[in-house]
Amino acid sequence: MEVTDAAVVAQVLAGDRDAFRVLVERHSRSIFRVVYRMTGNQQDSEELVQETFLRAYKSLERFELRANFSTWLYRIAVNRTLDFLNARKTQMQTKDMYQIADNPDHEEGNQVQVPADSPGPDRLLLSAEMKRKIAGALGLLTPAERVAFTMRHMEGRSIEEISQALDLKVSAAKNSVFRAVQKLRHQLEPYTSPGSPSRHARWGGSAVK
């Protein structure tokens, strides 16, 4: 019988620091998937996952054993990643300002960062082309929408867990999932219309709906 997360946390708090490795091994892959969908960069995601677990370890005494550890961990990861993305956006805006100042003829292009497929075991039962299309469509979502969609349709998390991870009301979390699905449906409509070979493609076992 597998030891619960709460039991492992209790072991760590009791002085067994090595027990924390169990939590890392148990949750690192799912945390990586969510962070990767937000950043689109493997190296950044790996570093953010490490920071997430480091922060979790240092804050473990504040974790309520009655709560869901994975949801608590998701929230730490999402907050850290959003901070990272905001800082990167500010850096890019500053860099663009200097480039424009140095080159008055510079035209700012509309660039969208497109996350590639997550490495490791792939749960997308789709063709390679469809995977690329979905990755591109995901790049058009806001970070919060990407988290909501990934947690709901790839990780199978409940709306309540998503609301806690994003620090939103349940209704707002549900709307984030809905908006993400609507945007994806719009982008992928040519590939999901009647007659399309990818019409019945499923994402992580859940239809895009």
Give which of 118, 135, 160 is closest to 28, Cα–Cα: 118
List residues bridging with 67 in a β-sheet: none
Strands 202-203 and 206-207: antiparallel
DSSP category for residue 202: E
pLDDT of residue 194: 55
Mean pLDDT by 10 residues, the chain (209 residues): 90 95 95 89 94 95 90 93 84 49 44 39 53 76 87 89 90 93 83 52 45
Kindly state the DSSP code that residue 151 receives in the 8-state scheme: I
132's CB contacts (< 8 A; 6+ apart) are: 117
Q: Residue 183, CB half-sphere, CA atoms under 13 Å: how many?
A: 19
Q: What is the domain range of residue 19?
A: 5-197
**Which residues, listed in sequence order, are joined to residue 206 by a DSSP beta bridge?**
203
Give the Cα separation of 50 and 19 in Å (integer): 16
Question: What is the count of structural domains for the chain?
Answer: 1
Question: Which of 154, 121, 187, 164 has its CA nearest to residue 38?
Answer: 154
| pLDDT, position 18 | 94
Asked, for residue 206, whether it belongs to a domain, the answer is no
| CATH of residue 182 | 1.10.1740.10
| Structure confidence at residue 128 (pLDDT) | 67
The SS3 call for residue 207 is strand
Cα angle 135-140-146, degrees, rounded to a multiple of 5: 70
**Which residues is 203 bridged to in the sheet?**
124, 206
Residue 64 domain-assigned?
Answer: yes
Please check whether residue 205 lies inside any domain of the structure: no
**CA 188 to CA 142: how far, in whole Å?**
17
The model's pTM is 0.66
Which pLDDT score is estimated for 196? 53
Say if 204 falls within a structural domain.
no
Q: Is residue 121 part of a domain?
A: yes
Separation of alpha carbons 12 and 119, rounded Å: 30
Question: Does some domain include residue 207?
Answer: no
Residue 208 in any domain: the answer is no
Instruction: Specify the 3-state DSSP secondary structure of 68.
Output: coil
- Residue 11 falls inside a structural domain: yes
Rounded to whole angstroms, the maximal C-alpha distance in the chain is 66
